[in-house]
Structure 1
Amino acid sequence: MKIAYKYIVPVMLLTLFSCGGGGDDPTPDPQPEPEVPAPLAAALIFPDNNEECTEGVVVSESESQVTFQWGASENTDSYTLQLNNLETGETSNSNTSNTEIQITLNRGTAYSWSIVSRANGTNETATSGTWRFYNAGAPVENYAPFPAYDPYPQMGVAIDAGDITLQWESSDLDGDTLSYVVYLDTVTPPTGQLGETDTNSYETNVQANNIYYWRVQTIDAAGNSTTSEVFEFRTNP
């Protein structure tokens, strides 16, 4: 008799596993950096515009320390004080995160100043108006006028050749009547005298393709005088 053997073959079930549930999750889009608001211009407080500054602390016969003050401006992290010696044309910048800064100045000298507002995270800035003042020196009966400022043509611009009118602004602490001597040349400092005038302008003629340098001597009724910095403009070919 034959015996039949029944073989049972186990069946192996293979389970395939896949990573990530069938696919990678999409990478989220990068979030844009928040926009930094531009700073606003500061309001100037002291020294006062077109006034004599007598509140400085005298440190020597020739120098005193003056504290510049301005109002805080919105969206601003720091400030730059821009200072200009109106008699020599020398400029300087001083940085601070406060709304005041003390600077050592020459006594008996006219200056202009303005404030640039800055914010972290942006290159945008805002500039205040420009104020002028006379830093007090030894007492005098009559002050020299401010050197001429705000020239036209503006510094470094190019204009067409021909007839032009040079213009400028001026002021005097004593309110004296002012007169002017105007110099214009193609070399600096300019020595060619155009003429004299009692107004804040002078008509002249300029040639093409030149660089012109000019300045104004301001004279008050008491005979005091100041000379502006050298202004510059170009003429088109």
Structure 2
Amino acid sequence: MEKVRIVVIVLVIAIFAGCAKNPGEPDVLLGKANLLLPLKDQPCLTGTNITATESTVAFSWQPAENAEGYDLIIKNLLTNQVITMRTASVSQNINLLLNTPYSWQVKSLSTRSSETPLSEVWKFFNAGPGQISFSPYPADMISPYMNQKITAVNGKVNLKWSGADPDKDIVGYSVYFGTIANNLNTIIDNKMVTEASDISVVPGNVYYWKVITRDARSNISDSGTISFTVN
């Protein structure tokens, strides 16, 4: 298996080296990959189980214009661990944990371009055997995002997020906010809204916030805590 892996790596390097851009040659227009599988915001039920806790998931996407290779980027949404696989193909099999939500995207690569366009980001839930109910994906924190510096308007800011669920049965969001990361106050309690408006802040302070998403079967997900600074 190790010999096969070495051969694949050598082939990818050879492909890139053989297509190197000549000095002074203008960049080619490098396109974005269009994702195919796993499907967006859906449970992945087609993986091949290899252990009680892992399965092999097949990723595929359409070729990007002028691309010579790709980086497949997969993120565990519970741990934020990122896996990056470089390939000259438009498909890749990866072993992933069962009962776990992931996001994925593809970066287009070419030695003839300084650009590295990214595809859309899709989420999926790597389902376990017989699993029929799925937790919501952790909410995407739109604004403020991590470590952002923002300017308050009349001493107030707005918090914005988005959510998704493989079962499409989200029933509410709870939002927690404050200046102490491990002691946040509840400012929204299980409501079907994706914005908290007119939150009072003080210039110069660092603030923290997070979102808990709930679905109709009492499954929950935690966005993780985001910090931002008010100018």
Q: TM-score range by the shorter chain?
A: 0.7 to 0.9
Structure 1, unaligned runs of 5 or more: 1-30
Task: Encode CA deviations 1:37-66: one digit per residue, 9 max, x unaligned.
Answer: 131101000000011111111111111111
Match of 2:134 in 1: 143
Aligned counterpart for 2:194 among listed residues 195, 200, 212? 200
Match of 2:25 in 1: 34
> TM-score if structure 2 supplies the norm length?
0.81
- Superposed, 1:47-62 pairs within 5 Å as 47-62=38-53
Match of 1:173 in 2: 166
Structure 2, unaligned runs of 5 or more: 1-21
Query: Contact conserved, 1:151 with 1:231, CA < 8 A, in 2?
Result: no
Displacement of 1:190: 6.1
Match of 2:207 in 1: 212
- Superposed, 1:153-192 pairs within 5 Å as 153-161=144-152, 162-188=155-181, 191-192=184-185
Task: Encode CA deviations 1:52-84: one digit per residue, 9 max, x unaligned.
Answer: 111111111111111110111111111111212
Distance 1:90 1:185, change over 3 A: farther
User: SS state of the match for residue 52, structure 1?
Assistant: strand
Alpha-carbon distance in structure 1 between the residues aligned to 2:224 and 2:114: 30
Match of 1:231 in 2: 226
Distance 1:70 1:126, change over 3 A: same
Displacement of 1:187: 4.5
Note if 1:104 corresponds to 2:87: no
User: SS state of the match for residue 44, structure 1?
Assistant: strand
Task: Tell me the C-alpha RMSD between the 2 structures.
Answer: 2.0
Query: Contact conserved, 2:28 with 2:112, CA < 8 A, in 1?
Result: no
Displacement of 1:234: 2.2
Distance 1:188 1:123, change over 3 A: farther
Query: Contact conserved, 2:208 with 2:225, CA < 8 A, in 1?
Result: yes
For 1:199, give the aligned amino acid: V
Distance 1:89 1:183, change over 3 A: farther
Query: Contact conserved, 2:174 with 2:186, CA < 8 A, in 1?
Result: yes
Displacement of 1:110: 0.9
Alpha-carbon distance in structure 2 between the residues aligned to 1:146 and 1:87: 9
- Superposed, 1:120-131 pairs within 5 Å as 120-131=111-122
Displacement of 1:113: 0.8
Displacement of 1:108: 0.8
Task: Encode CA deviations 1:178-234: one digit per residue, 9 max, x unaligned.
Answer: 211212234445644333132112232222123333211111111111111333322
User: SS state of the match for residue 89, structure 1?
Assistant: coil
Alpha-carbon distance in structure 1 between the residues aligned to 2:102 and 2:230: 30
Paired residues, number? 206
Distance 1:141 1:117, change over 3 A: closer
Task: Encode CA deviations 1:147-171: one digit per residue, 9 max, x unaligned.
Answer: 1115222333221132222111112
- Larger mean Cα displacement after TM superposition, 161-170 or 107-116: 161-170
Match of 1:19 in 2: none
Aligned counterpart for 1:85 among listed residues 66, 76, 92? 76
**Identity rate of aligned residues, in percent?**
31
